[in-house]
Structures are given as structure tokens and as C-alpha cells.
Amino acid sequence: MTAVAAPDRPVVRRGGSPARPLRALWGLVGVVLVGWVLGNGFLSLAYHPEWYGHNRILMALVGIVLGIGGSALLFYCINVFIESLPQRASQGLIPYAFLLPAFALIGLMLLYPTVQTINYSFANNKSTAYVGLDNYRAIFADPAFWTALTNNALWLLVVPAVTVAVGLVVALFADRLSAGGEKYSKSLIFLPMAISFVAASTIWGKLIYDANPNIGVLNAILGTENDWIRMSGGRLNSFLMMIILIWMQTGFAMVLLSSAIKNVPDETLEAARLDGANERAIFFRVIVPQIKGTVLTVFITVVILVMKVFDIIYVLTNGQNNTNVIAVMFFDELFTAGRAGRASAIVVVLLLLVPPILVYQVRAYRKEAAR
Amino acid sequence: MTALAKPAAVTAPQVRVNKQKGFMRDGRRRSWVSIVVMVVLALLWTLPTIALLISSFRSRDAVTSSGWWTVFTDPIHQGWTLDNYSGVISGSNMGMGFINTLAVSIPATVLPVMFAAFAAYAFTFTYFPLKETLFVIIVALMVVPNQVALQPLLNVFGPYGLGISGQFVAVWLLHAGFAMPLCISTLRTYMATLPGSIVESAKIDGASHFQTFWRLVAPMSMPAIAAFATLQFLWVWNDLLIAKLFLLPSNSTVIVQLQQLLGTQGQGAELLTAGAFITMTVPILVFIGLQRFLVRGMSAGAVKG
């Protein structure tokens, strides 16, 4: 028998078990049957709600069972089929069988649509004929697009850096509390991460930034009656909305940075202290170099999130008052103005911002894989 | 004093118990600056949510005539009421929205995690040509913004394509697809830390890959799986864009309903706070219940990278 040695190394195959055609047939029939039941089950939910008595709870339950149970069965049948093939074929095919559903989804939901969007960006608004670079000329000539681009840049400059900085401060102070105090204070700061962008925008927009000083805390504290969210002087409203995102993401930064700080070996801290380093020097010369990797991970994660920031702005200002960003502009072009060509061109520009981060991600992965 | 002393769990065995005043039980000196700073920060981070909770139980008149913070000085005359909740549940149909959101979130959490776990297993424990290339594609796709995919997918799922747009299935597939790269790479990172010898000996005992996966690797990867599933559940529950674009109004989630409530000015505006709190209940419960897994899983993945 061949034992699979270490992964990443070609398996040496000798001999091998014979094919078992009956079992293979059984597996194949299973795959087809499960696929057929799954497909028709889902379609029946869409087209024949009367079969389920229009009972939405029942339909939801059927959907859940079909989706989860069906996929498990499908995997099982694929496996039965492949393992009954001659061993040589089976060993080679198994990885692909395990990868197939994941890559089918990635292909259909990410690869194909991305290519198609690039394609649409050169086409007219009904995506029926090519118009060359017209869409790009139109958006680059539009001052609103440059406003959105500027705002995106501002969000990218401010939010990731502030989130990491605040998260780091919180992690450092929490580290000096007793175990219980640390646990509870961190939980409270982590909690906003569970809240949706829409609910967070409701909280901040309606209870903190509201123009009525009896409702909005900010006006109550300052004794003013400003409609903060409409005040675009110095991009003030954009900054106020950034605070919402920072409020939500600090907990995430804190959790990762905190565990990185706790992983700094005691010996290095003790050695620095024996050498007479003060706390400042210890932080910048001993701790920071050792948590640099985590700081970058957090930073990149927030950058990716900020690039597609949509909900907060869409819900609070819908891009009015100089707050527009690319994602909101895309939404408006596509669904309000019905200009699919321009909308596609706008997101393609967003896509062009990706490569630097992408190169970093792939490099980081390569480095880790080499370790 | 040692500003950056280690937590109790790390140093406890060697530390002699210091019962002096001003010291913590693990022997470190109590840092009052840290205590004050952390209390202030924790309050700052919690107050907005508390403000929402208080406001959601106050009548429209009370909310517009006095701030929610007056509750702390005069807790009785605040026009307490449950009308906002009954109004939003009956009037805006949030009860149905709640069930819809569960119907969207549960499969959209389980399916991608299951698919990704199989793929991560293949990437970790099997050999096949082009393995590196395929994985680099996955790492690269983690960065692509979802908006890029929306318009073509509206066509694919729409009436001229598969005809499933508006149904739960469409949203499950979307969330599953968008989550796949991050989920595969997270689980692979974790699986790579499992001892390969266990999988090897399972092979020698004649276990198939399918058995090895279900009986050995999946249970051993539970910390990472639980962490990612929690995150994915929160993302899907809280998502606005996909739910808004790909669900019929009768299937819409609480988040979409809340966004529509936000658009209403004047009458019905008092329902907003109650509606917002309803959308937050499940995520907060899940979050508190599973926080342990979440923190452990997130830290395990990130400290390596």
C-alpha cells in the first residue's frame, strides 16, 4: 500500500487496488441524483411557493436542510465514486474532488463576474454594444467622481492608521489590568464589532450627531444646533462618519494586537530592563519590532474593508454634502441612473487600487510558506 | 514598576503572592492610570449602544423633548413605553424579517465553511499539480472588492439567467462565494499546524480521505472553524448590499428593513431605535456566546502572519 508521506511531495505509487465498477456506478448515480434533487428543490422554492403552503418558516427550513444536507451528501457521493476508481486515478483525482465545489463557487461568484465587469466597462449602458473608452472619459470628466476618489483616499489615509493606533493603545493599557478587568473592558470595546454598519449609523447619526440638542449628544455637549452630518466644511461630516467605522473596528485591532503583545517573550523585556531601558524605549525598540507583522496584518485588513466602505455613507448621506465615495457612486450610477457602463468603469477604477495590496498579500503568503 | 508585565497565566507559578495594598493578586502592581484610562475607554465604547437601548424604550415626545442622558438624573419620568417595539414588529413586519435573516444567515454560514474546509484539507494534506498557483489565486482574490462582481451576477441570477434572483438561494451562493478565499486561507493556515503524522497514520490504517477529513481533521480544526463561522455569521446577518440587491421585498432581512426605516422622516421615526436594537439582538448574543472562540481563532491566525 502507499502511504501518503508528507504533503507537498509527490506520492510514489506502486501497484494499486483494482477498480470497483459497481461502487463507482453507485457513487455516480448518487452524484446525479443528489444534484437533481438539490437543483429542483431550490427551484421549487422559487417557483412553487404554494407547495409549501406559502409558509415562509417551512420554506426557510427546507432550504436550510437542502443546502446543508445536500452538500454533505454530494461530497459523500463524489468521494464514493472516486475511491472506487483504480487507485492510481483515485489518488490523483481526490484533491480535485475536494476543491471542486469551492472553486466552482469562486469561479462563478468572483472570477467570472470580475472579468465580465471589466468587459461591461467598455460597453454601453445596456451592455449591448462596445463604446470604447467613452465610459472612462465620462467618469474622469465628472467632478463628482474626483470628489468620490478624494474621499476614498481620505478614508484610506485616516481609518486604518487611527484604528491600529487606538487598538494598540487599548491593548497596551488592557495588558496592565488585572485578568478580570482586562477581560471585561476588552469585551466592551470588542462588542461594536457585532453591530451592523446600518445599526451603527443609526446609533451615531440619530443619537450623537442629530441636529436636535435634545437628541444629539454632540450638540448637547457643545450647546449648538448643528446638523453635523450635512456640514461639509473641511470634510467634517466625512471625518464624523469615519469615527463610526473606527468605533466598530478598534476591537478587532485590539484583539489581534493584544495577543501579539502577550506573545513577546518575557526574556527580551527583562533583558532590556536590565540594560536600563525606560518604558518608552522598551515599547519602541523591543515590543514594536516583534509585533510589526501583526500591525501590518491588521492594517491591511482594515484597508481592504475601507476600500469598499458603502453602508455608512449610503445610509447617512447617500453621498450628498461632499461625502460621496466610489462604492456609493457605483450604486447610484447602476440603480438610480441606470448607467451600467459608467458604473462598471467606476468599480474597475476601484479594482485598479487593489494591486499594491495584492502584491503585499501574495508576498506575505510566500514568506510564510517558505518558513 | 513594570509597565508591560505579563498576564497572570504566564507568570503565576513563580510569583509569590503579594497581599500588600496596591498589588494585584498575580503580584503585579496595580496601575491606576491604566484602570482610569480603560474605564473611560470602555464607557466611551459602550455609551452609544446604551443610548440606543434607553431611547428605544422612550416615547416619541420624551425623546424629542429631553436627552437620553437625563435618564441618569431622573429615571422615572421618561415616558417609558414598549410601543416602539410593538410598532416596529407589527408595522414594519420585522418579525418576518427576523425569520428571513435567520434563513439567510445559517446556510450562508455553514455552506462556505464546509466547502472551504474540504478545499483547505486538499491544500494541506494532498499533493496535486498547480497547487501553489491555485492557492496564490485564492490569496489574491481576498483583496478584490465585492462590488466588482455585483452587476454580472445580477444578470446571471436574473430572469434571463438562472431565475433565482430574489430568493434565499441566490444570497447563500453569493455569500458563500465571497467568503470562500478568506475562509480557505484561514482554515489552511490552521490545518498546517496540525501534526501531519496523524493524517499519515490514518492513511496507513486504510482510512479514505473523506473519513480522515470528517473523523480527524475537521474535529481537530474546530477552533478555527468556530471562529470563522462566527465571523461569517455576523457578516451575513449584518450585510446590507447583497440582501438589498438580491432579495425580494417579501424575503428582505432586518438590516434592509432598518435601512428603509432610516429613510422615513417624521412619522415612524421613533420606531427606528427599537428597530435598530432588534437587528442587533442576535449578533450580540452570538458574539457574547462565542467570543472565546472568536478571540482564540483570530489570534491564532494573525500572530502567525
Domain ranges of chain A: 21-120, 137-370
Together in a domain, B210 and B103: yes
B31, B58, B81 - which closes a domain: B81
Q: Are residues B150 and B27 in the same domain?
A: no
What is the fold, at CATH topology level, of the domain defined by A137-370?
MetI-like fold (1.10.3720)
The answer as to whether B2 is a domain residue is no
pLDDT value at position B17? Answer: 52
Q: In 3D, which of A331, A318, A162 has the Cα closest to residue A248?
A: A162
The answer to the question of residue B45 being in a domain is yes
Q: For A180-189, B39-48, B161-170, which range has the lowest pLDDT when averaged over its residues?
A: B161-170
Mean pLDDT, chain A, whole residue set: 87
**Looking at the structure, do residues B14 and B98 belong to the same domain, yes or no?**
no
Question: In terms of domains, do B201 and B297 share one?
Answer: yes
B4 to chain A: which residues are within 8 Å by CB?
Answer: 172, 175-176, 261, 269, 279, 282-283, 287
Cα–Cα distance measured from residue B58 to residue B112, given in angstroms and rounded to the nearest whole number: 41
The pTM (predicted TM-score) of the whole model is 0.88
Contact B228, B187 (CB under 8 A): yes
Give the cell for residue B218. 475537521
**What is the domain range of residue B61?**
8-81
How far apart, in whole angstroms, are the C-alpha atoms of residue B38 and residue B46? 12
Cβ contacts of B165 on chain A, cutoff 8 Å:
none
Q: Say how far apart CA A212 and CA A363 lie, in whole Å.
A: 51
In single-letter form, the type of residue at position A44 comes to S
Position A316 pLDDT exceeds 90: yes
Residues 277-316 of A with CB under 8 A from B: 279, 282-283, 287, 293-294, 297-298, 304, 307-308, 310-311, 314-315
Cβ–Cβ < 8 Å for A21, A12: no
Q: Which residue of B has its CA nearest to A348?
A: B148
Q: A82-116 pLDDT, tens per residue?
A: 888 887 778 788 888 889 889 999 999 999 999 99
Assigned domain for B3 exists: no
More confident residue, B62 or A368: B62
Rounded CA-CA distance A178/A355 in Å is 44
User: Max CA-CA distance within chain A?
Assistant: 85
- Assign A17 to helix, strand or coil: coil
Beta-carbon-side half-sphere exposure of residue B129 (alpha carbons within 13 Å): 2
Of A161, A171, A187, nearest to A264 by C-alpha is A171
Separation in Å, CA B152 to CA A116, A344, B95, B158, B160: 6, 10, 32, 10, 12
Residue B117 has pLDDT above 60, yes or no: yes
Note whether residue B1 is domain-resident. no
Measured in angstroms, the CA of B85 and the nearest CA of chain A are apart by 15
* Residue where one domain finishes, among candidates B51, B81, B111: B81
Let me know whether B278 and B172 are in one domain: yes
Question: Which range is most confident: A151-160, A281-290, A350-359?
Answer: A151-160
Mean per-residue pLDDT of chain B: 84
| Domain end call among B81, B101, B117 | B81
Q: Is the pLDDT of residue B19 over 60?
A: no
pLDDT tens-digit series, residues B214-227: 889 999 999 889 99
pLDDT score recorded for residue B266: 60
Is B175 inside any structural domain?
Answer: yes
State the number of CA atoms in the 13 A half-sphere of B273 facing the CB.
Answer: 27
A309, HSE (Cβ side, Cα atoms, 13 Å): 32
Q: Which residue, B53, B18, B291, B175, is CA-closest to A189?
A: B291
Query: Which stretch of A1-5, A41-45, A228-232 has the lowest confidence by average pLDDT?
Result: A1-5
Q: Are residues B30 and B111 in the same domain?
A: no
Provide the number of structural domains found in chain B.
2
Q: Which of residues 33-72 of B touch A (CB under 8 A)?
A: 33-35, 37-39, 41-42, 45-46, 48-49, 51-52, 55, 63-69
Q: Do B210 and A75 touch (CB under 8 A)?
A: yes
Compute the average pLDDT of residues A356-364: 83
Query: Considering only CB atoms, which chain A residues are within 8 Å of B204?
Result: 1, 3
Query: B101 and B141 share a domain?
Result: yes
A208 touching chain B per CB within 8 A: yes
pLDDT band of residue B301 (cuts 50, 70, 90) is low
The answer to whether residue B144 neighbours chain A at the CB level (below 8 Å) is: yes
Contact B72, B195 (CB under 8 A): no
Give the residue-averaged pLDDT of A23-37: 88
| Cα distances (angstroms) measured from residue A350 to each of A161, A325, B147 | 20, 10, 9
* Residues forming a β-bridge with B23: B29
pLDDT of residue A329: 94
- Compute the distance between CA of residue A149 and CA of residue A155 in angstroms, rounded to an integer: 10
Best CA proximity match to B206, nearest among B195, B215, B218? B215
